[in-house]
Amino acid sequence: MTRPDNDDEATVAVIDDDPGIREALRGLLRSVGLHAEVFASVQEFLGAARPDLPGCLILDVRLPGRSGLDLQEELARANAQRPIIFISGHADVPMSVRAMKAGAVEFLTKPVRDQDLLDAIQLAIAKDRARRDEERTLARRGADFETLTPRERTVMMSIVGGRLNKQIAAELGLSEATVKVHRGNVMRKMRVRSLAELVRIADKLVPAHNRA
């Protein structure tokens, strides 16, 4: 179980082939107390060991080798996405549409207003933090789910499927009293108080588990 995130520990990764811009952005972020890691290329970024901290990416759309848009798609496929802020020399509409559709937080054109960039960074970090919280909760719930016996899992899926104890007992060939005991165990092990809560968790958990 990971510890909760701390505001000071957010990192912003900057990928830009222009050393002047890398240094300028690193300086700007330092002035607002943010830690920046700068990379000259996507390859360099992918090759670096990244600390597991909340943060975001600032990407130039036009990068040597693989473009920023390609990296965005690759990170999305690897399910390792971080919120991305795109910076482009020229904002052409199809490019910005593609970026926003793929989940970019913001698409800014050079030269960038510092406040626009810092706002976007705050938003991106907040988004990343929320996503990480969500992931952590989900991981905890997943761990809870792992403690259930196979019979309890079957009962849980039937409950969230909207079946009554009587129906479940008939389907599984058990007494209604036994089903009630299983049901009590499920609610205790999954740390929920109401059926509604259990349904909500199951909704998130099941697709996540299927993916894994």
Name the residues that contact other proteins, by CB under 8 A: 17-18, 20-21, 23-25, 27-28, 30-32, 62-65, 87, 89-90, 110-114
Cβ of residue 109: shortest distance to other proteins, in angstroms?
9
Q: Six-digit token pair at 89?
A: 């020399």
Cβ of residue 18: shortest distance to other proteins, in angstroms?
5
Between 28 and 208, CB nearer to other proteins: 28
Between 36 and 192, CB nearer to other proteins: 36
**Residue 190 — φ and ψ, nearest 5°?**
-85, 0
Cβ of residue 37: shortest distance to other proteins, in angstroms?
17
Between 21 and 105, CB nearer to other proteins: 21
Cβ of residue 111: shortest distance to other proteins, in angstroms?
4
Are 57 and 81 spatial neighbours (Cβ–Cβ below 8 Å)?
no
Are 66 and 93 spatial neighbours (Cβ–Cβ below 8 Å)?
no
> CA 67, 56, 200 angle in degrees (round to 5)?
115
Cβ of residue 195: shortest distance to other proteins, in angstroms?
53
Between 111 and 207, CB nearer to other proteins: 111
Between 119 and 171, CB nearer to other proteins: 119
Q: Which ranges in 63-103 belong to alpha helices (H)?
A: 68-77, 93-101
Q: Which residues pair with 107 in a beta bridge?
A: 86
Three-state DSSP at 90 gives coil
Are 81 and 35 spatial neighbours (Cβ–Cβ below 8 Å)?
no
